[in-house]
C-alpha cells in the first residue's frame, strides 16, 4: 500500500508537476534534484510504500522509512509540484509486482489531482547503448496529447520510435493521469544503462528543454562541469577502444611465400 501524507494541505490552480525518481542513468532524479537545489521549494507531502525495497534509511545512526516527497514552488506566479526521492517500485518482479506499480502510480496521480495539478511531466532516461558514448544526447518526448507533443518538438525534443514501452513510474504516472483528464508527457534523455552513477550530460539536455518550455532561469555551471567530465570520460574510453582495435587488426601487406 502507498501512503501520501500531506504536511500542509494546499490546493493550487492549474499546477504543473514534474516527477524525477531514480531510473536509467538517474536522468530524471538529477534533473529534479538540481532544480530543487536552486529554487526555494517547500516540502508539502511525504510518500511511503510497501512496494519500495525492503530497507530503511539511516542517518547518524537514526532509522526512518525510505520516503519520496512532494515539493511546492511558486515561480513567476505559477505553481509547480516536484516529486523527488531516492526510490520507486523496483522493476524486478521478485521485489514489486505489477499491481504494486499501478497502485503506487495511481496514488501519486490522485495526490496530484488533489493538489490541483493539470499537467504532469515525468523525467527519465532512455537507453541508447553505445550511441551515447559517441554522440551528444537528445531528449525524446512521448505524450498523451498531440498538441503538447508538437510543442516540445519545437524546442529541441524529438519523437521516439513508432512503438515502444516506458516502464515504471515514468510511464504509468502519465498514462494513469490521462484517465483523470490531466495531460502529460514523458521527457527522456538519451543515456547508457551502464551509467549507474548518473548521466549529467543527458540531464543537462532535459533541463534545457524544461527551461525553454517553462521559462526557468537556472544556473547551469555545476551541471555543465559534471557534464564535461562525463563527455571527457567517454572520449578517453573511445580512444582506448580505438587503440585496442588497431592492435587487434591483422597486419596488411604480408609477403606471400610459396
Q: What is the pLDDT of residue 192?
A: 92
Pairing label, strands 117-127, 183-191 = parallel
Measured between alpha carbons, how far is 122 from 18 in angstroms, rounded to an integer?
A: 6
Q: The domain containing residue 236 runs over which residues?
A: 2-248
Least confident of 13-22, 152-161, 200-209, 241-250: 241-250
Instruction: Name residues whose C-beta falls within 8 Å of residue 248's C-beta, 6 or more positions apart in sequence.
Output: none
In the numeric block, the cell 525553454 is attached to: 212
* Residue 94 counted as domain residue: yes
E-strand spans in the chain? 2-6, 15-20, 42-49, 56-59, 62-65, 68-75, 78-84, 117-127, 139-143, 157-159, 183-191
- Report the number of distinct structural domains present in the chain: 1
- Structural domain contains residue 163: yes
Evaluate if residue 133 carries a pLDDT over 70. Answer: yes
43: in domain: yes
Q: Identify whether 256 is part of a domain.
A: no
Evaluate if pTM is beyond 0.85.
Answer: yes
Say which residue the cell 539511516 belongs to.
Answer: 58
- Domain with residue 84: its CATH number is 3.40.50.10900
153 in a domain, yes or no? yes
Kindly state whether residue 255 falls inside one of the protein's structural domains: no
Query: Would 202 be classed as within a structural domain?
Result: yes
Q: Answer whether residue 258 shows pLDDT above 50.
A: no
pLDDT in tens, 67-88: 999 999 999 999 999 999 999 9
**Residue 93, Cβ density class (10 Å: 0-12 exposed, 13-18 middle, ≥19 buried):** exposed
**Residue 129 DSSP label:** T
Decide if 253 is inside a domain.
Answer: no
Amino acid at each position: 500500500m502507498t501512503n501520501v501524507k500531506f504536511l500542509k494541505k494546499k490546493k493550487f490552480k492549474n499546477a504543473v508537476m514534474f516527477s524525477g525518481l531514480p531510473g536509467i542513468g538517474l536522468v530524471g532524479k538529477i534533473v529534479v534534484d538540481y532544480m530543487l537545489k536552486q529554487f526555494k521549494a517547500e516540502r508539502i507531502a511525504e510518500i511511503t510504500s510497501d512496494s519500495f525495497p525492503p530497507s530503511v534509511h539511516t542517518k547518524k545512526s537514526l532509522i526512518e522509512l525510505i520516503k519520496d516527497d512532494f515539493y511546492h514552488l511558486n515561480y513567476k506566479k505559477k505553481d509547480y509540484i516536484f516529486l523527488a526521492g531516492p526510490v520507486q517500485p523496483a522493476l524486478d518482479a521478485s521485489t514489486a509486482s505489477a499491481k504494486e506499480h499501478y497502485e503506487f502510480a495511481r496514488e501519486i496521480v490522485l495526490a496530484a489531482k488533489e493538489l490541483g495539478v493539470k499537467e504532469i511531466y515525468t523525467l527519465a532516461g532512455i537507453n541508447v547503448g553505445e550511441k551515447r558514448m559517441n554522440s551528444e544526447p537528445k531528449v525524446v518526448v512521448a505524450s498523451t496529447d498531440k498538441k503538447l507533443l508538437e510543442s516540445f518538438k519545437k524546442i529541441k525534443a524529438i519523437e521516439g520510435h513508432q512503438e515502444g514501452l516506458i516502464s515504471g513510474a515514468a510511464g504509468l504516472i502519465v498514462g494513469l493521469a490521462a484517465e483523470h483528464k490531466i495531460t502529460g508527457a514523458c521527457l527522456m534523455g538519451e543515456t547508457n544503462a551502464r551509467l549507474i552513477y548518473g548521466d549529467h550530460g543527458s540531464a543537462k539536455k532535459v533541463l534545457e528543454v524544461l527551461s525553454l518550455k517553462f521559462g526557468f532561469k537556472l544556473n547551469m555551471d555545476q551541471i555543465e562541469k559534471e557534464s564535461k567530465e562525463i563527455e571527457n570520460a567517454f572520449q578517453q574510453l573511445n580512444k582506448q577502444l580505438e587503440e585496442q582495435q588497431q592492435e587487434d587488426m591483422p597486419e596488411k601487406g604480408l609477403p606471400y611465400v610459396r
